C-alpha cells in the first residue's frame, strides 16, 4: 500500500494525466487482490502422495464458494489404481475398506434403482457394464465419450468412437467409460451448452493425468452455501490449471466422494451431499469406484 501512495506522489508531480491513469488502474489492482485473497491452497504429504485442499471464493475459476480436494499420485509412487464394482450399490468408503485401499473415489455412472453400471466397465478382462443409449442418442450418451484404461502400471485416457460397443475391441484388461472428456493431449474439448449437467454447478469427480504420468484424483464439493459446486467449464479450467495433459469427468452430484486411509487422514475427506448437509456423513452408495492400492499388496 505504501508503494501505491509513493507511486501516486510521483505521478502527481508528473501531471494530471498520470493521476487519471492511476485512478483507472487502482480498481483493477484491488480486483486482482480480492481474487488472490480468496484462493487458499494447502498440501498434506502422505506416504509419497499429496493431498491438495483448495478453498475458493471470487477468483478466476469460480465466482462462488468452492471446496476442492485433489489427491496427487506421482508416477514414482508405490501405489497403483484399480477399478472396483459391487452388484448392489455400496459406499465408496466400504469398497475401499474391503480391499484395504489407501484411497478411493467414486467411479462412473450407474442406474440408481437397478444398481448396474450404465457405462462400459471391464475389470480383470470381465465385462461388467455396457453403454446404455439415451432417449436422444442412437449409440451412446454424452457422458460415454471418454475411457480410462489401466494396463499393469499404465493409466491413460482415450477418446471413444461413436459406436456403442467400441470398447469391446480394446485389448486392455481394465476399462471404465465415463465423460465427457475435458482435456486430451493438452487440448480442451468442446463442451455442450444445452445441458444443465454441463452449465450448472454440481459436485464433481474427475481424473487427470500429467505429462510425466502423475495421476490426479479430484473431488469438488457442491450443493451447499459453503461449496456451490463447479460447472463442467469450471472443472475443465481447473484441470488445465493443474497441468493435466488428459482429464475426464466421472460421476458427480451426490456420488462425489474422496476416501483416504493414509497417515493421519482416515475416512471421508470431502463433504458428500446426499444428506443435504455440509458434513462427512452424506455418502451415497454407488456401483463402482477407483481405488488406490499399495504395490506391496498387489496380486501378481
pLDDT digits (tens, 9 = 90+) for 124-161: 999 999 999 877 667 899 999 999 999 988 999 999 99
Nearest to 139 by CA among 148, 129, 130: 130
CB 145 within 8 A of CB 159: yes
Residue 293 in grid coordinates = 492400492
- Same domain membership, residue 220 and residue 117: yes
Average pLDDT over residues 80-109: 98
- Same domain membership, residue 145 and residue 12: no
- Same domain membership, residue 189 and residue 249: yes
- Same domain membership, residue 80 and residue 210: yes
Nearest to 180 by CA among 130, 143, 232, 227: 143
- Same domain membership, residue 122 and residue 23: no
Residue 26 in grid coordinates = 487502482
Strands 246-249, 181-184: pairing kind: antiparallel
What pLDDT is recorded for position 200? 97
- Same domain membership, residue 107 and residue 15: no
Indicate the burial class of 247 (C-beta count within 10 angstroms; 0-12, 13-18, 19 or more).
buried
Rg (C-alpha) for the chain, rounded Å, is 22
Q: What is the mean pLDDT of the chain?
A: 88
- Same domain membership, residue 93 and residue 30: no
CB 177 within 8 A of CB 167: yes
Tens digit of each residue's pLDDT (9 = 90 or more) over 156-187: 999 999 999 999 999 999 999 999 999 999 99
d(CA 251, CA 20): 51
- Same domain membership, residue 154 and residue 23: no
Q: What pTM does this model have? A: 0.87
- Same domain membership, residue 43 and residue 31: no
- Same domain membership, residue 15 and residue 94: no
Q: Strand pairing partners for 30?
A: none
What pLDDT is recorded for position 59? 78
Lowest mean pLDDT among 81-95, 138-152, 269-283: 138-152
Q: Which parts of the chain are beta strand (E)?
A: 39-46, 49-56, 66-73, 79-91, 103-106, 121-123, 126-129, 146-151, 154-159, 174-178, 181-184, 187-188, 204-209, 215-220, 246-249, 258-262, 265-268, 285-294
- Same domain membership, residue 257 and residue 133: yes
- Same domain membership, residue 115 and residue 27: no
Domains contained in the chain, number: 2
Residue range of the domain that includes 31? 2-35
Amino acid at each position: 500500500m505504501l508503494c501505491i501512495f509513493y507511486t501516486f506522489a510521483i505521478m502527481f508531480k508528473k501531471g494530471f494525466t498520470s493521476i487519471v491513469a492511476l485512478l483507472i488502474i487502482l480498481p483493477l489492482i484491488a480486483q486482482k487482490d480480492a481474487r488472490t485473497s480468496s484462493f487458499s491452497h494447502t498440501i498434506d504429504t502422505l506416504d509419497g502422495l499429496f493431498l491438495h485442499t483448495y478453498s475458493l471464493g471470487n477468483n478466476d475459476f469460480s465466482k462462488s464458494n468452492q471446496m476442492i480436494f485433489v489427491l496427487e499420485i506421482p508416477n514414482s509412487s508405490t501405489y497403483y489404481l484399480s477399478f472396483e464394482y459391487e452388484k448392489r450399490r455400496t459406499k465408496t468408503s466400504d469398497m475401499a475398506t474391503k480391499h484395504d485401499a489407501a484411497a478411493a473415489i467414486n467411479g462412473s455412472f450407474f442406474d440408481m434403482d437397478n444398481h448396474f453400471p450404465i457405462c462400459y466397465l471391464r475389470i480383470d478382462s470381465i465385462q461388467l457394464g455396457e453403454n446404455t443409449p439415451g432417449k436422444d442418442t442412437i449409440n451412446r450418451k454424452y457422458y460415454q465419450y471418454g475411457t480410462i484404461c489401466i494396463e499393469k502400471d499404465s493409466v491413460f485416457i482415450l477418446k471413444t468412437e461413436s459406436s456403442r460397443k467400441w470398447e469391446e475391441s480394446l485389448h486392455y484388461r481394465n476399462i471404465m467409460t465415463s465423460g465427457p472428456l475435458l482435456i486430451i493431449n493438452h487440448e480442451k474439448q468442446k463442451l455442450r451448452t444445452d445441458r444443465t449437467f454441463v452449465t450448472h454447478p454440481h459436485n464433481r469427480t474427475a481424473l487427470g493425468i500429467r505429462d510425466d504420468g502423475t495421476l490426479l484424483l479430484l473431488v469438488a464439493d457442491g450443493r451447499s452455501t459453503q461449496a456451490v459446486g463447479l460447472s463442467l467449464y469450471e472443472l475443465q479450467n481447473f484441470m488445465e490449471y493443474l497441468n493435466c495433459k488428459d482429464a475426464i469427468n466421472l460421476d458427480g452430484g451426490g456420488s462425489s466422494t474422496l476416501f483416504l486411509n493414509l497417515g493421519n487422514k482416515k475416512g471421508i475427506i470431502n463433504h458428500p451431499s446426499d444428506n443435504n448437509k455440509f458434513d462427512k456423513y452424506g455418502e451415497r452408495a454407488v456401483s463402482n469406484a477407483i481405488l488406490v492400492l499399495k504395490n506391496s499388496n498387489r496380486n501378481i
